[in-house]
Structures are given as C-alpha cells and as structure tokens.
C-alpha cells in the first residue's frame, strides 16, 4: 500500500507542478515511488478546480491536437508498414505491470473499483470488425485441434473450425438416426452449441424434450432402474395425500355403473373408448356444443356457474401489481382483482378491472402467453372484452419483475387510469 503524504508535502509538490510547465503527475509519481493515480487523487482532493484547470491546460500544451489533413497524411505514410517494435524501456515496464495483479498494483479497494469499471464498460458492447471473415479464419486456424476448456461443462475438448465439420453427416445423425445434439457433440468432441448452430443454419427445427418423450414410457426414457426409483419416490411423496377431484369423480362413476349392472370388462372397454374419443378434437367440440345447448336451456345452471369462484394461483408479478394498486385505490370498490367480468357479457376473469372507468389491466406471465396458441387465445379474449365495452391494457412480466422497468410501468398505469 502507498504511504499517505502530509498536506505540507502535497502542497510543495503542487506548487512545483504548477510552476514547471513540463512537469507531469507521472514524473512526480516516478520520483516519489508512488502511483500516478494516487498523486492525481491527492491534487484533486485538496486543490479541486485549480488542479482541474491546470491539468487541462497542460494536456493541451503537451498534446496538441492534429488537424484532419495531418492525420490523413500520417495514416497514408504508415499504410502497409509493419508496426515499430516496442522500446526496451516500454517492454520492461509492460512486463513488470503485466506480471502483477491489480491488488499488487493498486491495493484491495482500488483493484475492486478498476475490475468493476472494466466489466461495466464492456456491458452491451458489440465488437466492430474491419474484416470479419479474415478474423474468423485466423481465429479458427489458431484454435484448430488445440485443447481448450469448455466453461467447465465438459472439461478439456478439441477446438474445431465449424466449417471443417461435415454438415451433411451431422444433419443425417440428427434427422435420420434421431440422435440428440448432446450425443452428436460427444461423437465429434465439440461443444453442443456448435452442433445447434449448424442445425439452425440449415433451417432444421430443433427438437425439444416433448418430441423426445412423446409416446414413450418412463422406463424407456430413463431406463428401468431410474424409472422404478422415481416412481418409488413419487409414491412416498404422495402417500397420505387426499384424493383429487378427478379420482373422486371416477370412483363415483364406477360405483354408479356397478350398481346398474356393468361388468368390470365392460367398464375397462368403455374407459378405453372414451380415452381414444377424447383425443379426437371433433368429439371434444361435439361435447362442448352439447354443454352450451344445455346451458341455454337451463339458465339457473348458468347463473350458478357464474357465481362459482375457482381457486386461482396468484403469481409474483400479479401480487406486485396488486400491492402497488392498493396504495392508490381501494380493492373491491375502485377495482376488482381476479374476478368475473362485471358486465356479464363474457365468462373471463381479468387480472385487474376498474368497473367505473371501464378499464382492464392484464399481466402476461412467463410462458403460455407467448406460445402461438397463447397469442391467438389472448387476442380472442381481448377482442371479446373490447366488444363488451372494456379498454384492455397489457403488460408483460418483465415490465413488472424488473425494478428499473416497473417504475415506468407504474407511471403508465396511473396515467391510463387518470385519463380513463
């Protein structure tokens, strides 16, 4: 650590710096055996504006700005010439500084500050290439067949130029032999990201876990031992838990059919038929239409269903918006949370509805709102609510869960409700 200087010593150094036109903080630091930044910090702390103005004048005097013509002339003169070698003094000083850590050079506190500054300066930056193709070629040639560490995921691997990989072979393994990207990556001894990139470049749809597991039993996916272990753990976890509504309904139906003389074989056969029928979309639509007709002919049942409140899971983003609205409005008076449409023209339950202002605020969650089916479903829902006389305003989960975006969202909601 650098020893602290007394105010008298700093004042003498500053007077010397002020009077000598060619004296810099770097020269003072070398003479005192200190760091140039330390000297600058002392001067800045004690002499403030005087030091700032003086340093700006010195920088202008010692480093005069070149005109555009002069810069062009220098660049044309240096074009095509190799860079001059570093001087011996430069090489020695560079070697000394590079061999030391930030902590050894600056001390603990300043080292942390410098590291943070460097990491913050690189956030969001994109690298600009003059000739990207030649850069990639040189990089791939320098890495080819070299042993590299793949972020601790797979350990040491060979670095490959992706252009040298056989794209046809990878696509054949992925499509025809149905191998996963992990297995292909292991076969070529490369990262999984390289294989996925090649698959994407050839406009091939990447398979998910659902595609892999479709139509397979648990034993086929995990293997018999792992599947048995998982089933055992699940059975222990669910032991003593009360039956769900589905189990109760199926038990009551079985009881009803047994009382009416249905045999076990007939019940099994019926369950198989119903299971296969329910997978058919046309059959499901038929049942939905029958139920709609029943509700038209029995308005009392429709009224009963309207009054039923199903227990819904409250998400974190919804709770955050709810807490915010409670600070400005009264719940169940000014606004309703997770309640049926008050116009009774639809069966939807909007997240937040303001009946007096005819405004609905919807918070779109993490996944199902952003699938193709979810987007169509949300658009249909919004159209029906707007036909019922509502103005619908939607916010995505990121606008609520991230603090710096939530402040803007709050202002938008308040502005909408004020103008509404």
User: Do 326 and 281 fall within a single domain?
Assistant: no
220-279 residue pLDDT tens: 878 888 888 988 888 887 776 665 555 666 677 677 777 777 777 777 766 766 666 666
Beta-carbon contacts of residue 129 (< 8 Å; ≥ 6 apart):
135
Residue 33 lies in a domain: yes
Q: What is the mean pLDDT of residues 104-129?
A: 77
Per the DSSP assignment, residues forming a β-bridge with 360 are 353, 392
User: Do 351 and 410 fall within a single domain?
Assistant: yes
For residues 202 and 167, is the Cβ–Cβ distance under 8 A? yes
* Structural domain for 347, as ranges: 310-419
- 0.85 surpassed by pTM: no
User: Do 314 and 271 fall within a single domain?
Assistant: no
CA angle 118-119-123, nearest 5°? 115
**Separation CA 240–CA 236 (nearest Å):** 9
Q: 330 in helix, strand or coil?
A: coil
277-317 residue pLDDT tens: 666 677 777 877 888 888 888 888 877 776 665 555 677 88
**What confidence score (pLDDT) does residue 359 get?**
93
Q: What is the mean pLDDT of residues 183-200?
A: 81
Per DSSP bridges, beta strands 352-354 and 359-364 are antiparallel
Q: Among 210, 132, 187, which residue's Cα sits nearest to residue 195? A: 187
**What confidence score (pLDDT) does residue 299 get?**
85
Q: How many CB atoms lie within 10 A of CB 99?
A: 8
User: Do 300 and 330 fall within a single domain?
Assistant: no
Query: HSE-up of 121 (CA within 13 Å, CB side)?
Result: 6
Distance of CA 207 to the CA centre of its chain: 21
User: Do 392 and 328 fall within a single domain?
Assistant: yes
Q: Which two tokens stand for residue 177?
A: 């032999």
Residue 210 lies in a domain: no
CATH of the domain at 356: 3.40.960.10
Q: What is the mean pLDDT of residues 374-387?
A: 86
User: Do 349 and 292 fall within a single domain?
Assistant: no
For residues 397 and 365, is the Cβ–Cβ distance under 8 A? yes
User: Do 399 and 314 fall within a single domain?
Assistant: yes
64-90 residue pLDDT tens: 667 788 888 888 888 877 777 777 777
Boundary of a domain, candidates 203, 227, 256: 203
User: Do 261 and 331 fall within a single domain?
Assistant: no
Residue 67 lies in a domain: no
Mean pLDDT of the chain: 78
User: Do 291 and 360 fall within a single domain?
Assistant: no
Per the DSSP assignment, residues forming a β-bridge with 352 are 337, 361
Residue 19 lies in a domain: yes
Distance of CA 286 to the CA centre of its chain: 42
**Separation CA 184–CA 201 (nearest Å):** 16
Q: 171 in helix, strand or coil?
A: helix
User: Do 315 and 299 fall within a single domain?
Assistant: no
**What confidence score (pLDDT) does residue 362 get?**
92
φ, ψ for residue 232, nearest 5 deg: -65, -45
Residue 267 lies in a domain: yes
Distance of CA 308 to the CA centre of its chain: 38
Residue 209 lies in a domain: no
Boundary of a domain, candidates 36, 62, 88: 62
Residue 169 lies in a domain: yes
User: Do 192 and 262 fall within a single domain?
Assistant: no
User: Do 382 and 415 fall within a single domain?
Assistant: yes
Crossing angle of helices 192-201 and 181-188, rounded to 10°:
110
Q: Which two tokens stand for residue 72?
A: 């062009």
For residues 358 and 420, is the Cβ–Cβ distance under 8 A? yes
Question: Rg of the chain's alpha carbons, rounded to an integer?
Answer: 36
Q: 354 in helix, strand or coil?
A: strand
**Separation CA 114–CA 152 (nearest Å):** 27
Residue 40 lies in a domain: yes
Q: Which two tokens stand for residue 109?
A: 């506190």
Q: Which two tokens stand for residue 166?
A: 């056989």
> Structurally, how many domains does the chain consist of?
4
């Amino acid at each position: 650590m650098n020893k602290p200087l007394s105010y008298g010593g700093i004042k003498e150094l500053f007077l010397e710096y002020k009077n000598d036109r060619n004296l810099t903080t770097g020269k003072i630091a070398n003479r005192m055996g200190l760091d140039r930044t330390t000297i600058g910090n002392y001067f800045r702390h004690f002499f403030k504006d005087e030091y700032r103005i003086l340093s700006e004048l010195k920088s202008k005097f010692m480093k005069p700005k070149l005109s555009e013509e002069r810069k062009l002339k220098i660049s044309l003169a240096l074009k095509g010439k190799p860079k001059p070698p570093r001087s011996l003094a430069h090489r020695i000083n560079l070697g000394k500084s590079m061999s030391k850590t930030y902590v050894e050079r600056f001390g603990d506190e300043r080292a942390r500050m410098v590291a943070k500054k460097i990491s913050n300066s690189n956030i969001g930056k994109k690298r600009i290439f003059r000739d990207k193709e030649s850069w990639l070629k040189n990089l791939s040639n320098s890495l080819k067949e070299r042993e590299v560490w793949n972020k601790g995921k797979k350990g040491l691997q060979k670095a490959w130029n992706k252009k040298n990989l056989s794209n046809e072979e990878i696509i054949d393994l992925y499509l025809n032999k149905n191998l996963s990207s992990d297995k292909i990556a292991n076969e070529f001894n490369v990262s999984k990201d390289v294989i996925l990139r090649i698959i994407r470049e050839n406009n091939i749809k990447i398979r998910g876990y659902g595609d892999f597991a479709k139509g397979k039993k648990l034993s086929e996916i995990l293997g018999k031992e792992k599947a048995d272990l998982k089933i055992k753990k699940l059975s222990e976890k669910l032991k003593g838990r009360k039956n769900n509504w589905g189990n109760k309904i199926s038990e009551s139906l079985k009881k009803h059919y047994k009382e009416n003389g249905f045999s076990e074989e007939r019940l099994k056969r019926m369950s198989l038929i119903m299971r296969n029928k329910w997978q058919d979309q046309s059959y499901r639509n038929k049942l939905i239409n029958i139920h709609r007709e029943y509700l038209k002919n029995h308005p009392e049942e429709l009224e009963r269903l309207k009054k039923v409140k199903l227990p819904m899971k409250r998400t974190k983003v919804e709770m955050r918006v709810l807490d915010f609205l409670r600070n400005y409005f009264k719940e169940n008076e000014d606004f309703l949370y997770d309640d049926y449409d008050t116009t009774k023209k639809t069966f939807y339950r909007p997240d937040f509805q303001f009946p007096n202002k005819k405004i609905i605020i919807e918070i779109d969650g993490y996944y199902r709102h952003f699938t193709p089916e979810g987007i169509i479903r949300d658009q249909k829902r919004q159209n029906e609510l707007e036909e019922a006389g509502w103005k619908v305003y939607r916010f995505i989960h990121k606008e609520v869960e991230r603090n710096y975006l939530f402040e803007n969202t709050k202002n938008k909601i308040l502005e909408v409700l004020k103008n509404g």
